[in-house]
Each structure stands twice: as structure tokens, then as C-alpha cells.
Structure 1
Amino acid sequence: MACSDPEVDLDTIPLIALNMSVRKKLGLYLNPRNPVASDWMAVAEEMGFTYLEIQNYEASRSPTKAVLEGWQARSTDATVGKLLSILTQVERKDIVEDLRPLIDEDVRKYCENQKKKAEPPVQVPEVDSCVPRTPERFGITLEDDPEGAPELFDAFICYCQSDFEFVHEMIRELEQTEYKLKLCVFDRDVLPGSCVWTITSELIEKRCKRMVVVISDEYLDSDACDFQTKFALSPCPGARNKRLIPVVYKSMTKPFPSILRFLTICDYTRPCTQAWFWVRLAKALSLP
């Protein structure tokens, strides 16, 4: 049935019609393991995922989101109607009832967009609005909602590739513990395809409250790290109020960067203060 009809056949509406906010809410219902009600695993089984696939999805930050994306990518049966049917089959009618107004609104917007695409353009493609646009700054991270607010973070992590193992430890200690902080790790959170410098400045200036700088000998040779640090210390209105937190996690043979000498260092190399390291860092990143 066509989208313009009063009664839309949800089995004809692809899952892509559901925006990020609805998917996040589905995760809030289904991600927690529930001994009483069906969770994301039961939904994944109904979608046809194997036991091994489900075990791999369990390591995701949001298993529900990962399952929906996987189902959408591999199945022509991945429709809004089929999803609602699966939720009903696993006896999660509570989710259907709570989210149905939001789902219907997403479907309505999707149908309107499809109808506009089918209509002939009112002007030639070469003529554009005079309103300035910066498309690179929208939809730049994994959790960005193109129709909603941009994804925000507690801290931008400035690091070089050789220090990535320590960044992994930082993720475990700050995101996956009671601190529940949200870190912006470029290789994990940023979508590929746009200008690195544009994205970096947008994230530091407008998306992240703090910036953690992982200092090492390799950091001193990194052009990307040099740009990120200098931008965060620049007089740019959105960047100059950032609190930079230098972190040293291994011994260095080169001099400490002079541009950061005036800042208090969080030192992981001192055994006597190592026990307080993550607590101090988490507290600094949690400040308003």
C-alpha cells in the first residue's frame, strides 16, 4: 500500500524508517537482561540470528541497536511491521504500546520524504539556497540523529595509534564501570568519509566538555595530536574554555610538551598514586 494512503501497510515500510531516538528507546527496553520478560536475545532469535551471532552481538555497547542494524542489512524482511510482529510474538506488547506513537510518527515522516523524492524538483539542481550549510558537521558520529540533537560526549580523547591499547583501558575504566562516562574516541565513534580537520574541530569545540591528551613520545611526533591540542588551546570561543587533562601512562625519553606544562598532569607512571588515577580522572571529567 502506498505511503500516501490513510492506512499504511507497515509490512511495506523498511526498518530504515525508524530514526535513532526510537532505536535508542528500544534498547532501553531490551538491552537489560530480564529473567521475566523477553530481552534483545529473544528478538534476535526471532529475526533468524544464530547462537554464535547473538553471542558476538552481546559485546556491543547496545546489542539491540546492533541487532537491528544487522537485520536491516541482511534481510529484505526487515520492515517496521515485521518488527512489531516479532515484539508481539515474544510477548513484549508493552513496548509496542509505549512506542507505537513514536513509530507511527517516524513512518509518517518517512512516507512524506518518499513522496517528496518522487515529485519533480521545483528548480534545477544547480540552484541552491543561499543559507550557509555545513553538511560535514551533521551525522559525523555513530549515534548522531540527523533529525535530532547531535551526539555529545564528556571528553574528547587525543591520542596516537601506538597508544591505542591504553585508550582501550581508559574505555573499560571510565565507560564500562560505575562512572558511565561517554568518551569520544575518533577511531571508534567517528564515521568515515569527511574531512578529518573539520570533524575534529567540530567535536572539540561543540560536542565534548573536556579533552584528555594521552602524552607519549609518539604523541610528540603526531601531526593530528598537535593540531587537536593547539585547537583546544586556541582563542576560539567554543574551545578556549575546555579543560585539557594531560595523561602520562608510560615513561618518556623526550621532553614533556611545553604547551601543556602549565596544566596539572594525571600521571599513571607513579606506583604510589596509581590507585587514585582513574578516580581522579573520572572526577575531573564528571564536573559540569
Structure 2
Amino acid sequence: MACSDAECDLETVPLIALNVTVRKKLGLYLNPRNTVAADWMAVAEEMDFTYLEIVNYKTTKNPTAVILDEWQARTKDATVGKLLSILMKLERNDVLEDLRHQIDEDVRRYREKAAEPPVQVPVVDSCVPLTSEKSGITLRDSPEGAPELFDAFICYCQSDFNFVYEMIRQLEQTDYRLKLCVFDRDVLPGSCVWTITSELIEKRCRRMVVVISDEYLDSDACDFQTKFALSLCPGKPLSYLPGAQKRRLIPVMYKSMTKPFPSILRYLTLCDYTRPCTQTWFWVRLAKALSLP
């Protein structure tokens, strides 16, 4: 069956555009085993998961969330349009009717925040300027147009700034001599926030440190920054990514959380400051990860 222009257009929108709220509601519909309507297992089969994989996912608390994350990580076909096609094929019209407005809203917000699709580059290298299109956006940009480059972009929310300040002290003002991009300190006012953020993450910074907290989960800016960074390498297992892209995102947690850890980051090794027994090595490990070529 031919799709409408709007539905075909959704085939180009990655699944990462769907926010936590929509994913939770999908779980509420699909997690319960149902003898009448298709459940998460039927969706997993349509996504080409094997029988053994599906059996193992039965033991998880939220199998729908797991298969969405796994599908998103393993294939370029993990798009919003493909998910809607699967639900339509399985005749889950109740899900489509109830969630379509929220899905469309997530897609709209995703497109607004990333108006220009990210340019795929084989290697992220802070030593060689990759663009000269946007200059004069950071404090030390050269008047001649040479862009200022950084070792890492720091993704954080305002309530966590005291920890970011300590990160600056530990990584910039010690022998590590790393150069961090801290938005409130380094970015000049007057430019479009989303455009400049995309430019910095994609072309000015070799890596991104994500400061995870309960407040981070409620931040639209942090949500966009994290998903944009992940979208730079869509559909590739981490083991196949060259060089710096193997560790493009480094999640950091410095205080205990009451909310679930973000599922899109749970496959990345965490730098955890919450355990007193490992705090001694925390800054050494983080600095080493940011210093690697």
C-alpha cells in the first residue's frame, strides 16, 4: 500500500526523535501480553529480532523500551515512519489514534531543533578545522575566521553548574590542560541557540561530556544536544566506528538520581562520581578519555 506524502516523509525521521513520554506510553500499550491484539513481541518480530532475543527480552521490566533502543542502535531503518507502518500492519489502530498527535509533535520539535541534517564525517579531529561557515560564535574565535576548537562539549543543565565549575577546575586548570566548551562561558550572545549548539558539537568539539541528573532528564536543551550527538553516527555498532567516534559521548553522573537512567545512554560506559570508593580515579579516567586521539 502506497504511503501518503506525510507518512513517506516520516521514513526519513530517525526513531531518536521520539521522546521519553511517547516511549513510555508505547510501553503501556504494548508491554501487556494480549491474546487478541498484537503486543511487543509481534512488534519485535516485525523488527527482525530473533526468537532467542525476544525470549531474553521477556525478563526485562519494559521490553518495549528495550526493543526500541536495540532497533534504533542496530539499523538505519529505525525511523518513525517505519514504526508507524509496523503498528498499522499489526492493526494496532488504538495506539496510532491515541499517540499520533504526540508523535507528530515530537517530530516537529526534532525538525525545528535540527533544521539542517548532520553532515557525516569519518573522523572527528580537533586539530583540523572542518568548517569555516560559522565564525565569531565563541569568545576566542579569530577575527580572521579561524574557528576555536575544543576537546569536549559539556552538556549540562543550570542546576548542575557547580559540578561543571569543578570540572573546569580539575580538567582545564591542572596538568591535563584540556579545553572544554561550556556554553554559558564560551558562547557569544546573539546567535540562534540550536544552530550554534549543532555547529559546536559536530565540528568544533571532539567529544561530548553529558552530565546526568534528574534535572537533565527534564531539559529540552540537554535532550536535543544528546540526541544530536548520537545522530552523527546512526545505525552503526560502536565497535565499527573509527577513532574518536567510538567514545564521542561520555556520560557522567555526580549525584544520586531518583529517576531512571536515560535509556539511550545505558550502553555507554558511565563515569560515576557517586561511589566514594571510585572518586579517587574519577578525574583521571575522565581526563584520559577526553585526551585520547
| Closer/same/farther in 2, CA of residues 285 and 135 from structure 1, 3 Å limit | closer
Asked if the contact 1:248–1:267 (Cα under 8 Å) also holds between the matched residues in 2, the reply is yes
| Closer/same/farther in 2, CA of residues 150 and 260 from structure 1, 3 Å limit | same
Asked if the contact 2:137–2:188 (Cα under 8 Å) also holds between the matched residues in 1, the reply is yes
1:155 equivalent among 127, 145, 152:
152
2:214 match: 217
Look up the SS of the partner of 1:191 in the other structure: coil
| % identity of equivalent residues | 88
One-letter amino acid of the counterpart of residue 244, structure 1: L
2:141 match: 144
1:277 match: 282
Tell me how far apart the structure 2 counterparts of residues 287 and 170 of structure 1 sit (CA, whole Å): 18
2:192 match: 195
Deviation at 1:243, TM superposition (A): 1.3
One-letter amino acid of the counterpart of residue 281, structure 2: W
1:244 match: 249
Asked if the contact 2:135–2:146 (Cα under 8 Å) also holds between the matched residues in 1, the reply is no
One-letter amino acid of the counterpart of residue 280, structure 1: R
One-letter amino acid of the counterpart of residue 174, structure 2: T
Tell me how far apart the structure 1 counterparts of residues 212 and 281 of structure 2 sit (CA, whole Å): 19
Deviation at 1:242, TM superposition (A): 5.8
- Structure 2 unaligned spans of 5+: 1-130, 235-243
- Structure 1 unaligned spans of 5+: 1-133
1:263 match: 268
RMSD: 2.0
| Closer/same/farther in 2, CA of residues 286 and 135 from structure 1, 3 Å limit | closer
Task: Give the TM-score, by structure 1 length.
Answer: 0.51
Asked if the contact 2:132–2:146 (Cα under 8 Å) also holds between the matched residues in 1, the reply is no
2:164 match: 167
Q: Does residue 1:179 correspond to 2:184, yes or no? A: no
Asked if the contact 1:211–1:243 (Cα under 8 Å) also holds between the matched residues in 2, the reply is yes
Deviation at 1:148, TM superposition (A): 4.0
Look up the SS of the partner of 1:144 in the other structure: coil
| Closer/same/farther in 2, CA of residues 242 and 227 from structure 1, 3 Å limit | farther
Look up the SS of the partner of 2:231 in the other structure: coil
Tell me how far apart the structure 2 counterparts of residues 264 and 242 of structure 1 sit (CA, whole Å): 9
Deviation at 1:149, TM superposition (A): 1.7
Tell me how far apart the structure 2 counterparts of residues 196 and 229 of structure 1 sit (CA, whole Å): 15
Asked if the contact 1:232–1:242 (Cα under 8 Å) also holds between the matched residues in 2, the reply is no
Look up the SS of the partner of 2:144 in the other structure: coil
One-letter amino acid of the counterpart of residue 157, structure 1: I
Look up the SS of the partner of 1:218 in the other structure: helix
Look up the SS of the partner of 2:257 in the other structure: coil
Tell me how far apart the structure 2 counterparts of residues 210 and 235 of structure 1 sit (CA, whole Å): 12
Asked if the contact 2:201–2:229 (Cα under 8 Å) also holds between the matched residues in 1, the reply is yes
Tell me how far apart the structure 1 counterparts of residues 288 and 155 of structure 2 sit (CA, whole Å): 18
Tell me how far apart the structure 2 counterparts of residues 135 and 183 of structure 1 sit (CA, whole Å): 20
- Aligned length in residues: 154
| Closer/same/farther in 2, CA of residues 144 and 219 from structure 1, 3 Å limit | same
Look up the SS of the partner of 1:210 in the other structure: strand
Tell me how far apart the structure 2 counterparts of residues 278 and 235 of structure 1 sit (CA, whole Å): 27
